[in-house]
Amino acid sequence: MTDGMNAGNDKENNIKKKKENSNSLNKGISTGKKKYNIISKNFLYRQGIRLVLLLYSLLVTNASVGATIFFVSKRMAEASQKEVNEGNMNVLNQAGSLFDIYLRDVMKLSNTIYYNVFKNSNENVDIHNMLNLLYDSYRGKIENIAIFSLDGNLMYAAPAARMKTGYDVKDQEWFTNTFKDTENNHFSLPHLQQIFESGDYRYKWVVSMSRIIELTRDGKSEQAVLLIDMKYDELVGNLSDISFGSKGYVYMIDNKGEVIWHPKMGLLYSGRLFEYNAEAAQCSDGVNKYKDKSGRILYVKTIGYTGWRIAGVGYSVESIFNSPYTGPFISVIIFAEFFAITLIYTFMFDKISDPISRLQEAVQTIEEGNFNQKVPVGGVYEIESLGKAVENMRIRINQLIEDKRIENQKRVEAEEMRVQAEFDVLQAQINPHFLYNTLSIVIWLIEAGKTEDAKKVVTAVGNFFRIFLSTDRKFIPVSEEIDYVKNYILIQQMRFKDKFVYEFDIDENVNQMSTLKLILQPIVENSIYHGMEYMDDEDGRILIKAYIKDDKVYFSVKDNGAGMTKERIAEIMSADMTRVSKPRGSGIGFKNVRNRILKQYGSEGGVEVISEPDEGTEIIIYFPAEIYTKKDVEA
Amino acid sequence: MDKKINSRTVNNANNKMFVVMAMYFTLLALFLIMSMTNFFVRDEDTDTVCRMTVIICEGEDEYYTRFKKGVEKAAEDERIDVNFSSIYKDSGLEQLKSLIIKESDLGADIIMVPGIDCAELLNLSNTSGKKIPVVMPDSVYDEGGGYVGVNYRSAIDSLVERIKESQDTSVPVYIIPGKNYIKKLCDILKEDLERAGFNVVFKQDEADENFYSSFFDTECSRWYQPPAVIALSRSGFTEMAYMASMKETENLRLYGIGTTTYILNKMEQDYVLGIVTWNEYDEGYVAVNNSYKAIFSKDKKGLKIEDKTIPSYFIDKDILKSGKYTKMLYPIN
C-alpha cells in the first residue's frame, strides 16, 4: 500500500515537473534568449538520443561544410574576380589602342595635309584635288576636311561644301581651341556639324580635330585652321561591341566627366538612367570599386592626346553560386549531399541508439519491479559492457530478493511454531489442574448422591475437552465458542457451589461468524477467579454478550466483582508480558488472548478493559465479522 | 536466444549501412561524371517575353525615326520582339482596325499606333474574343490610349504666346490638321487661340493634291499681315515647310507639331518659326516600357518610368542654335 502511494506521488511529481517545464517554455517564449535555450534543451531532451545525435551531427557537419564552401567560394570568387578584372582591362586596353590608332591615323592625315599639301608644296599644286584624294582615302573614318582662314572664311573643303548662312565658325569651340596651343592638334567633344549645307537633310555627329597650319597664297604665307571632322559613329563604334559579362558595359567620358558616348545615351539624356560618370572622372586608370553597395567595378583607361577616358562597368563576382556555370551544379551537389549525409547519419545513429533504447526499455521494466526481464546485450563495445553489467546486476538483485523471501518465510514459520509451542505449553498447564478439580467435583457429587448433577458435569467436561483439544483448527464458529464457554461455566458453577449467577445474551446473527478458538473462555475464567473471589453466595453476576456492530463481532464479559485500578489496567494492557502477574486458574490469561487477536487481525481487532475498583469489570473483545467457511476449517 | 536476436539486428544494421554507403559513393561518382558535362549549366534567359507590333502609316517612317529608336532600345532592354508594320496612308479607320485585329491574331501581345488618338481602338477584340491592348503614344494624357501621353499644355501655351506677340488678332490663325491628327490637341489649341482673341480657321487637306499650293495662293496673301499657320500633322507640316521654301513667300508664319530633320533645316532657313516637339526617343522608350509594365505587371528596375507623361517643348530658331535641345532633336545613334 505504501508502495502504491509512493507510485502515485511519483506520477504527481512528474505531472508537476511537466507543468513546470511547460510554464518555463511559455515564459521562455515571452522573455527572451535565455529561455529559448531552455526550450531547445527540453525539446532535445524529449527527442531521444538518436535525434539529438542526428541534429548535433548535422549541425556540426553542415556548419563545417558550409564554412568550408563559404571560404573556398570566397577565395574562388576572388580568384575569378582577379581573372575577370585582368580580362576586362585587356579588353579596355585593346579598345583604347583601337581608339588611339584611329586618332593617330587622323593625326597622320593632319600632318600629311599640313606638310605635303600646304607647307612643302608650290602654288601649282591642285590643293582641291589633293584634299579630295586624301578625303577619299579616309572617307570611312572622316566626314570632311576643311581649311578656314583665321577670319572664319571657308578656303578649301573636301568633299566640296558650302557653309550655311548665319553660322560663324569663330563661335565654334574647335576653332577657338586651335589658338590656345598653335603647335598641337586639338580634339573637340562630339558635336553636331551644322556649318555645311547638306542636300539630304541628314545630320552628322562628329568629333573635330583642328590645328593651325601655314599656307602660301598669292605668294604670301598665312595661317589657317585645318578642320578634320571624324565620324563619331566610327570613332566609338567598337565600344558598342564591348560588354563585361551579361550586365556590364562600356562608356566614354571626357576629362571632366562629361559623357561622350554611352550605350544608353538617349536614356541618360532623358534622365531615366543614372551614371557614375563624375566619379569615373576622378578614378585612376585600372580597376576601381564603387563605394556604393551595387558591387559595381569600374575599369578606366585614359586615351592619349584627348584625355578622354573609356570607362567599363562590370559587376563583382560575389560567389561561385552566382555563376551560371558552377552555381546550379554546386547547389545540386550540396542539396544531394545534405540528404545523403542525413541518411547515413540516420542509419549510423540507429546502430548506436537502438541497443541503448532497448537497454533503456529493459531497465525501465526492471525499475517497475519486473526483475525477470532479461537485459539485451549488444551494440558497440561500451553499450555491450553496460548491458552486461546491468544484466548481472539484475541477476544479483533477483538472487537477493529470493534469499530474502526464503528468510522471511522461515522467520514466519518459526514465529508460528513458537506461538503454537507457547499455546501448547499453556494448554498443557491447565489440563491436569482443571481436570483434577473437575474430577473432585464429580466425586463429590456422586458421593452426595447427586448423580444427575455429576452426569451434567461429566457431559460438560466432555464437551469442553472436545473443543479444547481440537488442535487442528485455529478458527471455529462463534456458536461453538459460546458452547465451549457455557460448558466451562457450568463446570465452574458446580465447583464454586452456586457462588455466582451468569447470563448469556447472544445475538443470533453472531453464531455463524468465525472466531479464533478459545478467546472468550479465558476472559470468563478471569471474571470467575478475580471477580467472584471475594463475593458472598450468589452475589456474583457474570453477563456474557455476543453481537455484531459496524461489521465487527463483539464479545463482552461483564462482572460485578472487585474491579481494577487504572494502574492495573495499564499493567495488563502493557505489551511486556513480564510485568503481568502470573495468572491463576486455568492459566490462559488475558494477555494471551490480546496478543493472539492483535497478531491475527492487526488494528482491525483488539481488547478493551472497562473497570473501576469495587464496581466490576467489563472486557470487550472485537474483531472483523466474517462468516465461518470451509477456508476457516482448513486454517 | 536473445543473443541471436541481437546479433541478427546488428547484422541487419550493418547491411543497411553497407547499402547506404554504396548509394552514397554511387552518388559521388554520378556527380563526378556530371561535373564533366554541362548538365547543370544554367543558360542565360534570352527568350523574348512578348511580341509588339508598331503600326505606322506608309511613307511616314521618316517622321518617326526618333520614336522608333526609342522603341527599339526599350525592346532590346525588355527582350520584346518588335515588329514594325505599315498601313496605306489613305486607309480609313476600319482598315486600321482590321490590321490591328489581324496583328493580334498573329500573336502580337501589344499593338502600338503612334500619331493616332482614337478611343474606338481601345475596345477592339481579336477573333478569339480577347481584348487587344492598343497603345497610342501621341494621344493626349488621360484621354484614352493609356500607358504614355504627351503633355502638350506648356508648349501650346508658348506657341500661342508667340503668335500673340507677332500677329494682330484681326488676322485669323489657320490650323491645318492633316489626315492623322490628335483631335484633343486640336481642341486645346483652338480653345487657347480663341481665348487669346484670334479667329481660328480650319483648313483640311483631304483629297486635294494642290491644297497647299492653292492655300498659299489664296489664303496667305489676302491679309495685310502674314497669318499664322499651324500644321498639326507631320506630313502636313512637312508639306507646308516645303511649299514655304519653294514659294519663298513671306506671307505666312509657319508653326507646327512634330519634328523632322527637314523641318529643323527649314527652321534654320527661317521658313518655320516654331515647333512644338518632345523627346520622341524617350516617348518610344517609355511607351514600350509602360505598356509592357501595364500589361504584364512587371517593372524594369533602375529606370524612372513611372511618369506616364512626356513633356513637350516649344522651339524656335534661337533655341535651336543654343544647342539646348540638340541631343533631343538630333539623337546620337
| Spatial distance between the Cα atoms of B318 and B312, rounded to a whole number of angstroms | 17
Q: What angle do CA A609, A615, A617 make, to 5 degrees?
A: 25
Domain boundary among B278, B302, B321: B278
**Contacts with A348 from chain B: Cβ below 8 Å:** 17
Tens of pLDDT, residue by residue over B208-220, are 677 888 888 787 7
**Contacts with B70 from chain A: Cβ below 8 Å:** 266
In a domain, A410, yes or no: no
Tens of pLDDT, residue by residue over A63-79, are 888 888 888 888 888 88
Percent over 70 (pLDDT), chain A: 82
Query: Among A265, A270, A379, whose Cβ lies nearest the Cβ of B332?
Result: A265
Chain A residue with Cα closest to B76: A264
Asked if residue A523 lies in contact with residue A559, where contact means CB atoms within 8 angstroms, the answer is no
A469's grid cell? 483439544
Tens of pLDDT, residue by residue over A242-262, are 888 777 889 999 988 889 899
Q: Which helix (H) or strand (E) is A66 found in, with range?
A: helix A49-111
Phi, psi of A218 (to 5 degrees): 55, 40
In a domain, A412, yes or no: no
Contact between A270 and B7 using a beta-carbon 8 Å cutoff: no
CB pairs under 8 A between A and B: 111
**Contacts with B10 from chain A: Cβ below 8 Å:** 351, 378-379
Contact between A343 and B281 using a beta-carbon 8 Å cutoff: no
Contact between A192 and B2 using a beta-carbon 8 Å cutoff: no
User: Residue A135 sits in a domain of what CATH number?
Assistant: 3.30.450.20
**Contacts with A333 from chain B: Cβ below 8 Å:** 31
**Contacts with B305 from chain A: Cβ below 8 Å:** 272
| Alpha-carbon distances of A101 from A131, A191, A235, A303, B305, rounded to whole Å | 21, 21, 10, 10, 40
Does B144 share its domain with B292? Answer: yes
Does B114 share its domain with B135? Answer: yes
Q: Residue B114 is part of which domain span?
A: 45-150+280-310
The amino acid occupying position A8 is G
Contact between A232 and B332 using a beta-carbon 8 Å cutoff: yes
Name every residue whose Cβ is closer than 8 Å to that of residue A131 and which is 6 or more positions away in sequence.
A113, A117, A145, A147, A156, A157, A158
| Spatial distance between the Cα atoms of A186 and A175, rounded to a whole number of angstroms | 9
Name every residue whose Cβ is closer than 8 Å to that of residue A431 and which is 6 or more positions away in sequence.
none
- The tally of domains found in chain B comes to 2
Contact between B35 and A336 using a beta-carbon 8 Å cutoff: no
| Spatial distance between the Cα atoms of B184 and B177, rounded to a whole number of angstroms | 11
Query: Among B21, B262, B285, whose Cβ lies nearest the Cβ of A201?
Result: B262
Asked if residue A542 lies in contact with residue A489, where contact means CB atoms within 8 angstroms, the answer is yes
In a domain, A23, yes or no: no
Asked if residue B174 lies in contact with residue B216, where contact means CB atoms within 8 angstroms, the answer is no
Q: Whats the size of chain A, residue-wise?
A: 635
In a domain, A156, yes or no: yes
The pLDDT score that the predictor gives to residue B183 is 75
| Spatial distance between the Cα atoms of B325 and B266, rounded to a whole number of angstroms | 17
Residue that the C-alpha cell 455484531 belongs to:
A548
| Spatial distance between the Cα atoms of B147 and B293, rounded to a whole number of angstroms | 9
Question: Distance from B303 to chain A by nearest Cα, in Å?
Answer: 5
Q: Which residues pair with A552 in a beta bridge?
A: A549, A624
Does B57 share its domain with B171? Answer: no
| Spatial distance between the Cα atoms of A559 and A47, rounded to a whole number of angstroms | 76
**Contacts with B2 from chain A: Cβ below 8 Å:** 374, 376-377
**Short-list B76, B300, B332, B307, CA closest to A265:** B332
User: Residue B306 sits in a domain of what CATH number?
Assistant: 3.40.50.2300
Tens of pLDDT, residue by residue over A36-55, are 555 555 665 666 777 888 88
Does B141 share its domain with B82? Answer: yes
**Contacts with B327 from chain A: Cβ below 8 Å:** 265, 269
The pLDDT score that the predictor gives to residue B308 is 67
Chain B residue with Cα closest to A261: B332
The pLDDT score that the predictor gives to residue B105 is 92
Q: Three-state SS string across chain B, please?
A: CHHHHHHHHHHHHHHHHHHHHHHHHHHHHHHHHHHCCCCCCCCCCCCCCEEEEEEEECCCHHHHHHHHHHHHHHHHHHCEEEEEEEECCCCCHHHHHHHHHHHHHCCCCEEECCCCCCHHHHHCECCCCCECCEECCCCECCCCCCCCEEECHHHHHHHHHHHHHHCCCCCCEEEECCCCCCHHHHHHHHHHHHHCCCCEEECCCCCCCCHHHHHHHHCHHHCCCCCEEEECCHHHHHHHHHHHHHHCCCCCEEEEECCCHHHHHHHHCCCCCEEEEECHHHHHHHHHHHHHHHHHCCCCCCCCCCCCEEEEEEECHHHHHHCCCHHHHCCCC
Does B104 share its domain with B155? Answer: no
Domain boundary among A207, A235, A263: A235
| Spatial distance between the Cα atoms of A600 and A607, rounded to a whole number of angstroms | 13
A334 class by beta-carbon count within 10 Å (0-12 exposed, 13-18 middle, 19+ buried)? middle
In a domain, B315, yes or no: no
Percent over 90 (pLDDT), chain A: 19
Does B74 share its domain with B117? Answer: yes
In a domain, B322, yes or no: no
Mean pLDDT over all residues of chain B? 80
**Contacts with A378 from chain B: Cβ below 8 Å:** 3, 6-7, 9-10
Asked if residue A174 lies in contact with residue A143, where contact means CB atoms within 8 angstroms, the answer is no
**Short-list B241, B252, B237, CA closest to B173:** B252
Asked if residue A264 lies in contact with residue A240, where contact means CB atoms within 8 angstroms, the answer is no
Quick check: helix, strand or coil at residue A428?
Answer: helix
Mean pLDDT calculated for residue range A214-240? 86
A376 touches chain B (CB under 8 A): yes
**Short-list A126, A164, A131, CA closest to A147:** A131
In a domain, B319, yes or no: no
Name every residue whose Cβ is closer than 8 Å to that of residue A409 and which is 6 or more positions away in sequence.
none
Q: Which residues pair with A296 in a beta bridge?
A: A315
Query: Among A164, A271, A374, whose Cβ lies nearest the Cβ of B268?
Result: A164
Domain boundary among A213, A235, A257: A235
B331's grid cell? 539623337
Question: Distance from A101 to chain B by nearest Cα, in Å?
Answer: 23
Q: Which residues pair with A5 in a beta bridge?
A: none
B124's grid cell? 477592339
Model confidence at B8, pLDDT cuts 50, 70, 90, reads: low
Mean pLDDT calculated for residue range B307-322? 85
A494's grid cell? 458446580
Question: Distance from B222 to chain A by nearest Cα, in Å?
Answer: 31
Chain B residue with Cα closest to A265: B332
Contact between B40 and A377 using a beta-carbon 8 Å cutoff: no
The amino acid occupying position A393 is M
List of E strands, A480-587: 500-506, 514-516, 540-549, 552-559
Mean pLDDT over all residues of chain A? 80
Among the listed ranges A3-17, A446-460, A601-615, B96-110, which one has the minimum average pLDDT value? A3-17
Contact between A264 and B9 using a beta-carbon 8 Å cutoff: no
The pLDDT score that the predictor gives to residue B5 is 45
A7/A513: higher pLDDT: A513
State how far Cα B37 lies from the chain centre: 46
Asked if residue A612 lies in contact with residue A565, where contact means CB atoms within 8 angstroms, the answer is no
Question: Distance from A55 to chain B by nearest Cα, in Å?
Answer: 19
**Contacts with A315 from chain B: Cβ below 8 Å:** none
Q: Which residues pair with A544 in a beta bridge?
A: A504, A557
Phi, psi of B126 (to 5 degrees): -80, -175
The pLDDT score that the predictor gives to residue A535 is 65
In a domain, B316, yes or no: no
Contact between A272 and B285 using a beta-carbon 8 Å cutoff: yes
Q: Residue A503 is part of which domain span?
A: 498-635
Model confidence at B255, pLDDT cuts 50, 70, 90, reads: very high
Query: Among A198, A201, A269, whose Cβ lies nearest the Cβ of B327?
Result: A269
Helical spans, DSSP H, in A473-624: 478-495, 521-526, 566-573, 590-601
Angle between helices B234-247 and B211-218 (to 10 degrees): 50
Residue that the C-alpha cell 468465525 belongs to:
A514
A380 touches chain B (CB under 8 A): no
Whether the per-residue pLDDT at B297 is higher than 70: the answer is: no
- Give this complex's ipTM: 0.77
Q: Which residues pair with A205 in a beta bridge?
A: A192
In a domain, B317, yes or no: no
Does B162 share its domain with B268? Answer: yes
Tens of pLDDT, residue by residue over B79-121, are 888 999 888 877 778 888 999 999 999 988 888 888 777 778 8
Whether the per-residue pLDDT at A28 is higher than 50: the answer is: no
Query: Among A192, A336, A379, whose Cβ lies nearest the Cβ of B330?
Result: A192
A172 class by beta-carbon count within 10 Å (0-12 exposed, 13-18 middle, 19+ buried)? buried
| Spatial distance between the Cα atoms of B274 and B230, rounded to a whole number of angstroms | 9
Does B72 share its domain with B176? Answer: no
Does B272 share its domain with B165? Answer: yes
Question: Distance from A137 to chain B by nearest Cα, in Å?
Answer: 25
Q: Which helix (H) or strand (E) is A587 found in, with range?
A: none
Does B110 share its domain with B125? Answer: yes
The pLDDT score that the predictor gives to residue A19 is 44
- The tally of domains found in chain A comes to 2
Tens of pLDDT, residue by residue over A372-388, are 888 888 877 888 888 89
CB contacts under 8 A, A 550-609 vs B, are none
In a domain, B209, yes or no: yes
Residue that the C-alpha cell 512644338 belongs to:
B276
Chain B residue with Cα closest to A294: B302
In a domain, B165, yes or no: yes
Mutation target vs A (from B3, B7, B9; most A CBs, 10 A cutoff)? B9
| Alpha-carbon distances of B329 from A451, B231, B241, B265, rounded to whole Å | 166, 19, 17, 11
Name every residue whose Cβ is closer than 8 Å to that of residue B254 and which is 6 or more positions away in sequence.
B229, B231, B240, B241, B244, B271, B272, B273
A396 touches chain B (CB under 8 A): no
Using a CB cutoff of 8 Å and minimum separation of 24, what contacts does A15-19 make?
A: none
In a domain, A282, yes or no: no
In a domain, A257, yes or no: no
In a domain, A159, yes or no: yes
Does B140 share its domain with B210? Answer: no
A329 touches chain B (CB under 8 A): yes
Q: How far apart, in Å, do the first and last CA atoms of chain A sit? A: 25
Q: Which helix (H) or strand (E) is A460 found in, with range?
A: helix A451-468
Q: What is the CB-side half-sphere exposure of residue A282 using CA atoms within 13 A?
A: 6
In a domain, A149, yes or no: yes
Model confidence at B256, pLDDT cuts 50, 70, 90, reads: very high
Does B64 share its domain with B164? Answer: no
